[in-house]
Amino acid sequence: MPLLQSLLGAINGLNRLIGQVFSWLSLGIVLVCFAVVTERYLFSTTRIWMQDLYVWLNGAMFTAVAGFALLRDDHVRVDIFYRPASARKKALADLVGVIFFLLPFMWVVLIYSLPFVERSWRFMENSANVGGMPGLYVLKSFILVFVVLVTLQGIAMALRSLLVLAGREDAVPADYRYNAER
């Protein structure tokens, strides 16, 4: 059990750290977008790379924080049955969801995105816009970051579910228990 607790803590800690760091990109997105709009409407000029930048920051942020959102249970779900359910029923629903939906979907995303990302790195792909941002291959790599972080958090969800179903909810970190305030 200490190994599972350590693994749960490490995965949750990683996604919490990445989520908290990358969520600050939202401030950068607002500031860059404000600068682009100000340049365009007050000075009648624009920089294409800045227009790319706030879109790219948005893509990087949302792919990097997806695991954090899963950790916090912030993804959209139909809570009609889940919210009032007991911890054991939630654990069973999460385990089934992770095994039959989340992990297979992450596998599909990985298999289809690998050639896409690899090709982008091979060509050192840049923005399609003239004067746009260099390094599009870095942004495309965030697809793989998304897959890794969401898969890890899915594994953490499955481990939590197994602990709860085995009657060992006490082995689940306090901030990751069902009905815990996050």
Residue 128: pLDDT band with limits 50, 70, 90: very high
Average pLDDT estimate for 48-77: 93
Report the C-alpha gap between 64 and 144 in whole angstroms. 10
Query: pTM of the entire structure?
Result: 0.92
| Sign of CA pseudo-dihedral 73, 176, 62, 113 | negative
Report the C-alpha gap between 89 and 102 in whole angstroms. 18
Residue 182 has pLDDT above 60, yes or no: no
Task: Determine contact, residues 117/165, Cβ cutoff 8 Å.
Answer: no
Residue 82: pLDDT band with limits 50, 70, 90: confident
Nearest to 117 by CA among 134, 147, 142, 94: 142
